Structure 1
Amino acid sequence: MSDDTMVAVYRHDAHKINGQPHDRAPEMFEGVPVNQTVPHGADSDASALSRPSGQPEQTVENHERLYRLSLIEGESRYDPQGFTRGGVESAVRELLTEDNPETIHRAWLESDVVSAFIESIYYPYTSLKYHTLLVAALLDNYRDDHEFSDLRLVLDDADEIVPHRTVYADGEFALRIDVDTRGQPSARLGSRPWRSWASVWNRLEAHPLDTDGDRYDMVLDANLRRIGAWSTALQYIEDLHEVFD
């Protein structure tokens, strides 16, 4: 599978940033193809990690915007002061038009602008940023003939960024989805994709948080043991770091 396919993963939900339905979204953006179907079922599997199956239902009354709600404040993470329209458009343009797959993966990991958008208007605490990174991680594993049941959540050092497979990174630790743990603590994802974040986090062989002496880490860990949706949980880690750092 070509590098173009991995680049396409990071562009496959461009329509969500613009608030457009997939079936009516344009196929080109700034001269590059967007909104393409992701092979091997990686998109639907990543969706299952954060959203229930079946017909979606509105879960937060009167919330029909494309901006994500924060689990911390319960309000939109869109900041009209910090995110000017021109600034958002420029950041989105850079994310979608970059053509080096490793560079675009790193850009999505580090982006705070794309964190403002939701994976689905029906589930406004989910994160488009982390859904996209999960799709990329699954596809990169699937194209190496790994089955979902073979995959593990792996805890890495902060500077260990594995192209496409690292789904979260900050100054303290990184998390990736992989088969090869490289001797790092890990936990199986399970036999099928579902909203299993809390279950997998609970099974990790070691944790990066100081739950004995750090109040912030205690709160973070306690809530991560209750959140089921993967994109919501990964975004919650980022949001809490932003608040306390």
Structure 2
Amino acid sequence: MIAVYRHDVHKMNGNSHASASKTFAGIPVNEIVPLGADGDASLLSRPSGQPEQTVENHKTPYRLSLITGESQYNHNQSTSNSAVCDLLNVGDPEIMHQAWLEDNIVSMFNESVYYPYTSLKYHTLLVSSLLDNYRVGHDFADLRLIVDPAGDITPHRTVYAGSQCTLRIDKDSGDRPASRLGSQPWRSWASAWGRLGAHPVDAAHDKYDMLLDANLHRIGAWSTALQYLEDFREAFE
């Protein structure tokens, strides 16, 4: 599973996979993810086919924030590179997964320069969750978005960890609130969020949660929505 977290390092430079280097600071990167997990995760946040630029004058690998509308460009590139090296150099897969959940460096980047509101951080976590499910025989149509208590982390399958809840992609939800992802991958975040049996936000009483919930009902791209959830909590908690 280590290779999954290193597979899209080339996107931090805006490079294609075909032209990407095989190493980053001596660390093997940009390897192919098996079982179609990378392609399926891409379809959760981006349309298929030939990409088109969706935001004029922003053809960079730096993510645009849905909170501020501003680029997440970090002028201290040397600090960013050092932090990325530390993140990629983790040797234990479960520790690597936890590090990505807590990361605030890779979250500066989008998963495609054509779709700058998407998030490389959450694309990678989605790839990890799909691959971990696929390799034990789960099909995409079996999978659910599951709400777990805060602090409850399932290695490689938890895709978001916040102060109020964690979100996991898995087959079995037990008695936890959950909604199916659907028969095939598509930009279905708003649909899945709207079908949860119980919501992890207090949209009935808290004005900030009302705003958060309303906007999460409008976002289709999974990596964009998960990054928005993280950014919103950081901005308003």
TM-score (norm 1): 0.95
Deviations 1:148-201 (A, max 9, x none): 000000000011000000000011100000012132110000000000000000
- Aligned partners of 1:124 and 1:76: how far apart in 2? 9
Match of 2:110 in 1: 118
Residue 98 (1) aligns with residue 93 (2): no
Amino acid at match of 2:218: R
Residue 21 (1) aligns with residue 30 (2): no
Match of 2:78 in 1: 86
Alpha-carbon offset, residue 28 of structure 1? 1.5
Alpha-carbon offset, residue 97 of structure 1? 1.5
Query: 2:148 aligned to 125, 145, 156, which one?
Result: 156
Alpha-carbon offset, residue 20 of structure 1? 2.0
Match of 1:165 in 2: 157
- Aligned partners of 2:235 and 2:8: how far apart in 1? 28
Q: How many residues align?
A: 237
Amino acid at match of 1:110: E
Amino acid at match of 1:33: P
Amino acid at match of 1:206: A
Contact 2:146 2:170 in 1 (8 A): yes
Query: 1:133 aligned to 114, 122, 125, which one?
Result: 125
- Aligned partners of 2:78 and 2:28: how far apart in 1? 22
TM-score (norm 2): 0.98
- Aligned partners of 1:79 and 1:209: how far apart in 2? 31
Query: 1:65 aligned to 47, 60, 69, which one?
Result: 60
RMSD: 0.9
Residue 40 (1) aligns with residue 35 (2): yes
Residue 7 (1) aligns with residue 2 (2): yes
Alpha-carbon offset, residue 79 of structure 1? 4.1
Contact 2:191 2:217 in 1 (8 A): yes
Amino acid at match of 1:125: Y
- Aligned partners of 1:209 and 1:63: how far apart in 2? 33
Amino acid at match of 2:182: G
- Aligned partners of 2:28 and 2:124: how far apart in 1? 16
Runs of 5+ consecutive residues of structure 2 not aligned to the other structure:
none
Once structures 1 and 2 are overlaid, which stretch shifts more, 128-137 or 208-217?
Answer: 208-217
* Correspondence list, 1:188-207, <5 A: 188-207=180-199
- Aligned partners of 2:216 and 2:151: how far apart in 1? 22
- Aligned partners of 1:57 and 1:85: how far apart in 2? 28
Match of 2:217 in 1: 225
Query: 2:171 aligned to 164, 176, 179, which one?
Result: 179
Amino-acid identity (%): 64
- Aligned partners of 1:170 and 1:40: how far apart in 2? 29
Alpha-carbon offset, residue 131 of structure 1? 0.2
